Amino acid sequence: MEDGWFCEEDIERCIETGDVCKKQKDEMGNAADGWKYTILGIDCAGAPFYCAGKILRGEEGKLFLVITAHERKGS
């Protein structure tokens, strides 16, 4: 996020509005369910947005670790 134009709220909006378009095995093996997810949604401005991450178990429950997030280009 340091180098990008987006903020944490854009990632949250993408997850809330998006659809999982790809699911891959987590090769590191630390995902709570064993998978990484690619989500296509929109950001707070309504622009197409992409994020990928995995579900981890934290001290306070499950959390979504974002691996990458950026403006979605193309379809």
Closest CA to 45 of 13, 16, 21: 13
pLDDT at 53: 97
E strand map for 1-75: 19-25, 35-42, 48-58, 61-71
pLDDT reading at 75 higher than 60: no
pLDDT in tens, 17-57: 999 999 999 999 999 999 999 999 999 999 999 999 999 99
- Whether the CB-CB separation of 20 and 38 falls below 8 Å is answered with yes
At residue 1 the predicted structure's pLDDT band, cuts being 50, 70 and 90, is very low
pLDDT at 41: 96
Give Cβ neighbours of residue 24 (< 8 Å, ≥ 6 apart). Answer: 35, 36, 38
Structure tokens at 13: 């909006």
pLDDT at 3: 55
pTM over the 0.85 mark: no
